[in-house]
Amino acid sequence: MSDISRRRVLRGAAIAVAGVAMAAPAAIAAQSAVAGAGGSGHPTGHGDHTRPEAFDEVYRGRRIQGMPIPVEGRGHTGRTGHSPHMAHEGPGYAVFVDGEELHVMRNADSSWISVVNHYETFRTPRALARAAVDELQGAVLVPMA
């Protein structure tokens, strides 16, 4: 499935179950499992990065999830579709708050930032997701795409 169509499916699924907050992460987890069958579970991030393990918890009343995802074909296609610079790899990891994807980025020193805490680094995606919940104060994320 192409990146764009995959994202459309995910977005549609997320909207279809608005409030249930399950479909998008589940779909990506399924993709990740497929990719893992070929990738045999070895870290596939660039450099000496290893991708953190998945997590799934309720923090301050909101479901936060994180999971490794296929790196190929991801980039930022959905965000800046008109831009010519989308070829670089994404972070290889996705974070969700109540089923809505949070834009995250990994720094060269392996720390993490998100679009709601873009000038402050976190050691793990879970810490970043919790900080996002704190920052959001109950507000919903705007869809990334």
Contact residues for other proteins, defined by CB under 8 A: 46-47, 76, 79-80, 83, 85-89, 103, 105-109, 115-121, 135-137, 139-142
- Cβ contact 111:129 at 8 Å: no
In the bound complex, what is the minimum distance in angstroms from residue 142's beta carbon to other proteins?
6
- Judged by beta carbon, residue 34 or residue 140, the one nearer other proteins is 140
In the bound complex, what is the minimum distance in angstroms from residue 33's beta carbon to other proteins?
25
Helix or strand run (H / E) with residue 59: strand 55-59
Task: Report the DSSP beta bridge partners of residue 117.
Answer: 114
In the bound complex, what is the minimum distance in angstroms from residue 93's beta carbon to other proteins?
13
- Judged by beta carbon, residue 36 or residue 45, the one nearer other proteins is 45
Helix or strand run (H / E) with residue 119: strand 117-122
- Judged by beta carbon, residue 42 or residue 85, the one nearer other proteins is 85
Name the residue among 102, 91, 90, 110 with its Cα closest to residue 135: 102
**Residue at token pair 């499992």:** 33
Kindly give the pairing relationship between strand 62-68 and strand 112-114.
Answer: unpaired
- Judged by beta carbon, residue 20 or residue 80, the one nearer other proteins is 80
In the bound complex, what is the minimum distance in angstroms from residue 108's beta carbon to other proteins?
4
